[in-house]
Amino acid sequence: MIFYSPTEWSFTRQHREEVKMVLSGIDCVLDSQQVIYCSSEITSGANLYAAMRRHHVKCDGELKQIIGEAGFKADIMEPNMKAANQFAEAVRCAFPQRTIVITPAPFVAPGWIQREYLALWEELLRTRIKSCWFNRNWEFSNGCTFEFAVALDAGLPTFDQDGQALDRQAGIHAVEAAVLRLESEGFHCVKLRENLDRMRAAGLGA
């Protein structure tokens, strides 16, 4: 028996207020603990570039025109989210007491664009995370490379998918190689280059 169900009422809030609400919900679980964050490609990354190669286009906007929003979700986002959840579970199981691990994959905020999601994850990384793990092919993802830059700037330990330390130099080198490869194929890598600049500058102003 259900005593209360979600209502149909509409609420209007600023993005900042919604971020605070999400973080307060997370705090109900964390109870002041610092936990692990697992970064994985969701809307961009190697899977996206493979799809663009198949359809002979050079940016995600062109791809969406061809396969539509439903196709983009089915071909790019759903496989990425499945891989992200599997990665988080693998990291969780790598610790004897199955420590708390946060993955961004299940979270959906209708109306948000990517920068609004990234603002949430940045705040989370800077305030509630003790280490950040990066899934395979993270260097091709706009979101993952942004999160790596934030982790560097926040002084967080960073690890690859196998639990090996992923330091600043190795991370920068991986993204540089990814950008050079993609640009040689004619892909637009503006956001990857922006995040590469953030990585190089991370922590230098402290």
- pLDDT average per 10 residues of sequence, the chain (206 residues): 88 93 95 94 95 94 95 96 96 87 94 94 97 98 98 97 96 98 95 96 72
SS3 27: helix
Alpha carbon separation from 146 to 63, 140, 175, 205 (Å, rounded): 23, 11, 11, 17
pLDDT of residue 77: 95
Bridge partners of residue 133, in order along the sequence:
38, 159
pLDDT of residue 205: 58
Structure tokens at 154: 């926040």
Structure tokens at 21: 């609400």
Alpha carbon separation from 61 to 49, 78, 103, 123 (Å, rounded): 12, 18, 26, 28
pLDDT of residue 23: 96
Does the pTM surpass 0.85? The reply is yes
pLDDT of residue 133: 98
Residue with tokens 């260097």: 139
Structure tokens at 191: 């956001």
pLDDT of residue 96: 80
